[in-house]
Structure 1
Amino acid sequence: MVDPPEMERRQERDGGEGVAEREPGGRGLRLRREIGLWSAVSLTAGCMVGSGIFMSPQGVLVYMGSPGASLVVWAVCGLLAMMGALCYAELGALVPKSGGEYAYILQIFGSLPAFLVIYTFVLLVRPAAIAAISLSFAEYAVAPFYPGCSLLPQAVLKAVAAICILSLMLVNGRSSRLATMLTNVCTVAKVFSLLVIVGGGAVVLGQGRGYTDAFLFAFHNTTQQPGRIGMAFYQGLWSFDGWNNVNYVMEELKNPKKDLPLLYLLVNISYLLVLSSNEILSSNAVAVSWG
């Protein structure tokens, strides 16, 4: 066994940055505080802006039945995500520990409920979410190579998704600083792509070539079935998921002490302006069809 002081000296000698440091007074180890304010915001935004906003518009429109009702769903989902993020911000300030829900349940309810939560999360919830996100990424990465093909080769999709997961695993295992830099770059790229879509929708509207009929009869054919409305909210909330991710790395923030709903609304308005409802419903990669 290598004692912590020897481990730190070896890291300094080898030039490694390490992932932990000793607490003041030699009471134990803690994670290094290497995530600044911009990186924390980028982590939250980068986790929220993902495959959902580029693929869920189809599902929301399918279940709600009308463009107007689908925009209402997006606005309400954004409000719910904002309230959840505000609650987690307060929790993070009161309990500045990494682990998210696990840390809070451990402190409030004890070890057994916390163990059950993290056990389910690690073995079921997070792997399923990562698989879904990686497959969405693979669909967008592969779609340009198969123009006009409604069914993409599943073997290719799964291979690209697996490569994506392995690459991110290696980056996160190598260095938290490198992972933070990658998150910042991806966040800028994703937000920029959303702004391009919003700007493209404004250009199409200014040229008079948009599908404005969808907004003249915005709530026509809106569903009233609770089950379909619930599924529409599931699609929207999936797109906003990720607002709680910064709480999993609270101990790595340097100083642990927004407007995505509006952006998402504008993106969906652009989708509806550039694409007809039938084109959105028939597309598995809405942003590719928009492009």
Structure 2
Amino acid sequence: IIRTLFFFSGNIIGSGIFISPKGVLEHSGSVGLALIIWVLGGGITILGSLCYAELGVAIPKSGGDYSYVTEVFGGLAGFLLLWSAVLIMYPTSLAVIALTFSNYVLQPVFPDCIPSYHASRVLSTVCLLLLTWVNCSSVRLATRIQDVFTAGKLLALGLIIVIGLVQICREKVFHIIPNLEFKWMAPSVGQVALAFLQGSFAFSGWNFLNYVTEELVDPRRNLPRAIFISIPLVTFVYAFTNIAYFTAMSPQELLSSNAVAVTFGEKLLGVMSCVMPISVALSTFGGINGYLFTSSRLCFSGAREGHLPSFLAMIHLKHCTPIPALLVCVSSIYSLVLSNTFVFI
């Protein structure tokens, strides 16, 4: 159950918590409403996760959304969902996360300017190729990498939260004072919706555990347990991370920052500020690994149902990994092409 928790939490906690706070604050219009949106976003995610816990127990198939849509609404709906995910949703998500990884890794190398275009693309390529090889080689190695990087993410976010709590104990809190939290801008309904959309990016991955249901040990017990524990934990971490950000930065400073965690580190960590870009890089690296791991199972499930070429349902005899699904459907080559052209889309 602990490894399942690590895998699930690692898939949720990615680059979103380091990118989304700016968008949530910008559209919500005040610190108080931004914090409320983070908590409510976690509540909505919990409701969806509870539904998926029931579905995972009732329909114990790998493939997540695709398997459930196919089972309930028929083959056509499942076919359309599968191909949209394979051609659009997963490759673009992998491209964004890979570019985020390379930009944060290169930030210390290019401290006073935007990282080199070619350097960021090459590093994205290396990252995608390396993790595709890992996922092709061994399920155990892929899950171990996910465990290690999940621990790194939680330590980094724990450091931010602890520093924020220290700031609160020292009464250096200027931007989360109750009578000032909601004074700034009255947002429209559309802006609140956009704020929720920005926050939902940080919670993406909450349904990934259902993509590997058949590979879980005792899924009827461990799947619901992992969901019940992980989502409240992630919501707690996200809410307190944002509170920590506001103990160090004004709303205007946060909105002007292109790397919130890095700005936070520069203001409070001094010479140790390099920890923040490294932490974000660790987080995004683990996120790419999780995306590759789960999306390959989606392709495998689709091929097994006849909605993709049948060879994608093949499993390597020795490594027990879906190598054809990894190489063809969510391969680093396809994501590599997208990551090199994504800037023009």
Query: Do they superpose with TM above 0.5?
Result: yes
Q: CA deviation at 1:127?
A: 0.6
Q: How many residues align?
A: 254
Instruction: Determine the C-alpha separation between the residues in 1 that align with 2:262 and 2:56.
Output: 38
The answer to whether the 8 Å contact 1:43/1:184 transfers is: yes
The answer to whether the 8 Å contact 2:31/2:176 transfers is: no
The answer to whether the 8 Å contact 1:60/1:232 transfers is: yes
1:223 aligns with 2:197: no
Instruction: Determine the C-alpha separation between the residues in 2 that align with 1:48 and 1:208.
Output: 32
Of residues 31, 52, 58 in structure 2, which corresponds to 1:67?
31
State the match for 1:243 in structure 2.
206
State the match for 1:24 in structure 2.
none
Where structure 2 has 5 or more consecutive residues not aligned to the other structure, the ranges are 221-231, 266-345
Q: Higher Cα Rg: structure 1 or 2? A: 1
1:144 aligns with 2:108: yes
Code of the aligned partner of 1:55: I
Code of the aligned partner of 1:38: I
Instruction: Output one character per residue of 1:137-196: Cα deviation in whole Å (capped at 9) or x when no partner.
Output: 2222222222243x3333322222222222211111111111100111111110111111
Change (3 A) 1:137 1:87: same
Instruction: Determine the C-alpha separation between the residues in 2 that align with 1:146 and 1:176.
Output: 36
Superposition map of 1:4-83 within 5 A: 37-83=1-47
Change (3 A) 1:284 1:215: farther
Code of the aligned partner of 2:261: A
Instruction: Determine the C-alpha separation between the residues in 2 that align with 1:57 and 1:130.
Output: 20
Code of the aligned partner of 2:118: A
State the match for 1:26 in structure 2.
none
Where structure 1 has 5 or more consecutive residues not aligned to the other structure, the ranges are 1-36
Runs of 4+ in 1 over 6 A off after TM superposition: none
State the match for 1:135 in structure 2.
99
Instruction: Determine the C-alpha separation between the residues in 2 that align with 1:55 and 1:62.
Output: 12
Superposition map of 1:37-186 within 5 A: 37-149=1-113, 151-186=114-149
Change (3 A) 1:215 1:173: farther
State the match for 1:287 in structure 2.
261
Code of the aligned partner of 2:102: A
State the match for 1:11 in structure 2.
none
Q: CA deviation at 1:97?
A: 0.7
Code of the aligned partner of 2:209: V
Instruction: Output one character per residue of 1:88-130: Cα deviation in whole Å (capped at 9) or x when no partner.
Output: 1110011111101111122222222111110110110111111
The answer to whether the 8 Å contact 1:54/1:286 transfers is: yes
The answer to whether the 8 Å contact 1:98/1:248 transfers is: yes
Change (3 A) 1:177 1:237: same
State the match for 2:170 in structure 1.
207
Moved more, 207-216 or 46-55: 207-216
Partner SS, residue 219 of structure 2:
coil
Instruction: Output one character per residue of 1:213-271: Cα deviation in whole Å (capped at 9) or x when no partner.
Output: 66541011233322222211111000011110010001101111032112111000000
Of residues 233, 244, 249 in structure 2, which corresponds to 1:259?
233
Instruction: Determine the C-alpha separation between the residues in 1 that align with 2:18 and 2:28.
Output: 18
The answer to whether the 8 Å contact 1:138/1:157 transfers is: yes
Code of the aligned partner of 1:232: A
Instruction: Determine the C-alpha separation between the residues in 2 that align with 1:55 and 1:283.
Output: 10
Instruction: Determine the C-alpha separation between the residues in 2 that align with 1:244 and 1:111.
Output: 21
Instruction: Determine the C-alpha separation between the residues in 1 that align with 2:154 and 2:206.
Output: 15
Instruction: Determine the C-alpha separation between the residues in 2 that align with 1:288 and 1:59.
Output: 16
RMSD between aligned alpha carbons? 1.6
Q: Which has the higher helix share?
A: 2
Percent of aligned positions that are identical: 38
